Amino acid sequence: MNYFNLSGEIAVVTGALGRLGPIWLETLLTAGATVLGIDLAKAPLNEEFSRLSQKYPKNQLYLYRGDVTERSSLEELRDRTLAEIGTPSILVNNAGIDQPPGLVKTYTIEDLPPELFRQVLEVNVLGAFQVSQIFGAPMVKARKGSIINIGSLYGSVSPDSRFYDHLDCDPPFLKPPAYGASKAALANLTRYLATHWGPYGIRVNTLSPGGVLGGQDEMFKAKFCARVPLGRMAKPEDLTGPLLFLASPASAYVTGIELKVDGGFTAW
């Protein structure tokens, strides 16, 4: 069974240097794809990407710098990709803004500045749309492609503020409302593009992780895991199979869906 073999495929992953970026990169590389990671010029190289750079040859793993909110930047990256690597057949829209505790100033819902809401939507929704437009065009021309938008369980349910009520901050930590709103919009954008590009052989799906381990405090983890039917948070390796499924011929007749990888969180 060669359903999961991506040899000869070219994949583009935005937000490649973020928390989940290296998971997607390694999944695609392991399956044999040539992978282009895209991230901001100011985004520092992390340990995970450096490890992958040492493990895989330079002609299999690339890193370009660009901004998903700047159309001219994306058009330059597309043209460079076509000239230097080839026509992409896989796109992972991973770039996005999340605001976990401790990294941002806290606000009450009444005082949340509109510009912060707007910034999240601009990156998480408009950014994904622009990348899909620009890198999807060569896929349409080739009549082949799989686009995977990275969503979130918070695109389906509201954050539970009790997960955060032990944190010492004033005002209390508020999971930004724009984050869930953006991920819900992304799931609908997925359905739109899936129906629009289906006749051209392009599949578009959403992969929505829920509660991925990443340095959360012990009390948060205990509260969160008590709410998950499988009783634990996701490990990075829990995400690799679902991504590979959506990227590969194994899901050749799957489009327009949201695949929730949340341990059953949204089943309750």
Q: pLDDT of 102-118, one tens digit each?
A: 666 889 999 999 999 99
Three-state SS for 150? strand
**199 part of a folded domain:** yes
Q: What is the mean pLDDT of the chain?
A: 95
Which residue range(s) make up the domain with 214? Answer: 10-262
**1 part of a folded domain:** no
What pLDDT does 1 receive? 67
pTM score: 0.96
What sign does the dihedral 146-130-104-13 (CA atoms) show?
positive
Task: Please tell me the total count of domains within the chain.
Answer: 1
What pLDDT does 2 receive? 86
Q: What is the pLDDT of residues 235-264, one digit of tens each?
A: 999 999 999 999 999 999 999 999 999 999
What pLDDT does 183 receive? 98
What average pLDDT does range 216-221 have in this prediction? 95
Asked if the model's pLDDT at residue 52 lies above 90, the reply is yes
Contact between 246 and 146 under an 8 Å Cβ cutoff? The reply is yes
Among 34-38, 62-66, 165-169, the minimum mean pLDDT is found in 165-169
What is the 3 state secondary structure string of 235-266?
CCHHHHHHHHHHHCHHHCCCCCCEEEECCCHH
**245 part of a folded domain:** yes
pLDDT band for 99, please (50, 70, 90 cuts): confident
**197 part of a folded domain:** yes
**177 part of a folded domain:** yes
**2 part of a folded domain:** no
**Domain of residue 132, CATH code:** 3.40.50.720
